[in-house]
Structure 1
Amino acid sequence: MIPDTTRTTDAPDVSGVPAVLRVQDLVVTYGRHRAVDGVGFAVAPGESYAVVGESGCGKTTLARTVLGLLRPAAGEVALEGVRLDQARGRDLRALRRRVQIVFQNPFAALNPRMTVARLVDEPLRLAQPGLTAAGRAEAVSALLASVGLADRFLGRRPHELSGGQCQRVAIARALAMDPVLLVLDEPTSALDVSVQAQVLNLLADLRQRRGLAYLLISHDLGVVRHLADRIGVMSAGRLVEEGPAQEVLSAPAADYTRALIAAVPGRGRAALVGGAGAATASGPGAPGSTGSSQ
C-alpha cells in the first residue's frame, strides 16, 4: 500500500492572486488502471513545482491532463482559476495558449522541413494575428535572442542544429504564445551532459525575467534541485511526499523518496543533500552560460 503524503506545504502566499495551476483530487484512468489517483497541488505565479518519480509512476499522464490532452475521470484542473473541463470553444483555445510544453526530445518536437524562422513564426501567427510580417520578423528575432540564439540561425533547419540549439528553438516557440505556465517534460534528458547545465540555467533565467511558472516533470533529481522551489514525489499514481525542494532532498520523510535519493551515485547524491552550493562543475546542475548557442 502506498502511504499518504507524509509532508505537505501550502503554496506560497501570493497576496490574493489565484494559483496559476491548481490540481485537486485528480483521477485519470486507463481502463481499470488508475494512472493518477487523487493527486492535488497548486503552483503559484513564478513558482517552479517539480513532480518526480520513476518511469510509470503517472507523472507524464499528469502533465498531459494539465495540458488538456486527457480528460480526468474525477477531480479538476484549473488554470488561472478557470477549470479546463468547463471551458469551451474560443475560451478553451485561449486558455490552452496560457500553458505550453517543452518536450523531452527537441529533434522530434520540431518540423524538420521548416527553418528556425518559420518554426518560431508559426505560433506567433496564432498568438498575435494582427502583427505585420515585419512585426513578426522582429518578434522572432527577439524570441531567439531571449534563448541565446543569434539571427544567423534563422535560415537553418533542425538537422543543422545541435541538440541544445534545437531545445532553445523549442523554448522560443513555447514563449511565442506568451504563456504563464511552462510544462517541462524531462527538458534536458535527451541532451549531452555538457549542454544540460546551459539549458537549465537558461530556463532559470527565463523564469526570473518573464515571471513564468514551471511544472517540471523529471526523474533526474539533479535537474529538480537546480530548478524547483517545491517537489511532489509520485509513486503508483499518488503523491507520497510534498514540500520545499531543499527539505525533501536533504531530509526526505517518505521511504520511497529516500530510496530515490539513495539510487543517485555518490557525488551526485552528495550534491543533492548538500543544496545548491554543493553542485560540481561536472554535474548536470552545475553553473553554465545561458547565452551559449550550443
Structure 2
Amino acid sequence: MDTDKDPAAENALGGFLRARRAQLRPEDTGLPTSGRRRVPGLRREEVATLAGVSTDYYMRLEQGRERHPSQQILEAVARALQLDDEAVAHLYRVATPTTRRTRRAPRVERVAPHLRRLLDTWSDTPAFVLGHALDILARNRLAGALYAGFTHSDNLLRKTFLDPAAHHFYRDWDRAAESSVATLRRAAGIDPEDPRLWELVGELSMKSAEFRVLWARHDVRGKTREAKLFHHAQVGDLELHYEAFTVNSAPTQQLIVYQAEPGSTSADALALLGSLSAGPGPAQDSTMSAD
C-alpha cells in the first residue's frame, strides 16, 4: 500500500484524484449504471466526460504526466468530483508545480512566551497550541488534565492512533480519527516537503492500519470549530466545543480553545476537573523537533 512516505516521489495530484474518484458512485453524478463494475466509484472515462475533457488528458492528470493544468480544467475536474471548498483549495495546491528544494533540516517549533502566559490565565477552559504537524507545542493546566490518561502527549495523531487510551477517551473515535487525518493531509498539501510531517506519516503508516486506510482516502479538512465527545476517567462524559485560531506571529501554529455549554453537565464536569487539577505551576511546554 502507498503510504506516501516520500513526498518528493509522490504524485500528489494523481493520488488525490484517484481517491476522490473512488468515493463517487455513478448515481451520485446522474450517470447511468449497468453491468458489473471492476473499480470502486467512477471510472476515469466517466470523470473525463463529466469534466468535459478527453479520457487521455484526464489519465495524464492522474498519472502525473500533465504538470500544468489550467484553472478552467481544475474547476471542471472539481465540479465533476463534487469537491467542497476545502478539497478544491487542496486540489489547486497539489496541482501547482513547485521547484524541488534541497531537503530541509528539522527545526524546533517554539511557542512565544506571551502566548504561553496567555494560556496560563485561562483556568476554566482547556487550551493548547498546535504545530503544523499537529504537534502539541504548549498547553495550559486544564488541557493537561483533560488528556492526562494518555501515554503519548506530544501529538494529536499519535494520541489518536497509537495510544491505548484513545478508543475509550474519544466517544466517537471514528470521527476524531477522520478529522485529524484530514487536517494532516491538508498540511501535507500546503508544505509537501515538510520533513517533520513525513516523519510522522511514516511512523503512523508503519504502526497503524487504521491510519493507513484513512490516509489513502485523501480527505482534506482544516481545523475551525467542532463539537467533541470525550469520556474522562475522573469526571465522566464531556461534550466540548472548540474554536481554532491562527497565531498571526507564527502562521503555522494554531491556538485551540475548548469550552462547555454554560449550565450543562459538561460545564459542571469541566469545573470539577479544574478543581481536581488546581495548583501552582505554568502551562506545559511540549516543544518538538519539527520544521
Check whether TM > 0.5.
Answer: no
Q: Looking at both structures, which has the greater relative contact order when contacts are Cα pairs under 8 Å and sequence separation is at least 6?
A: 1
The TM-score by the shorter chain falls in which range? under 0.3
More strand by share: 1
Quick check: which has more Rg, 1 or 2? 2
TM-score by length of 2: 0.25
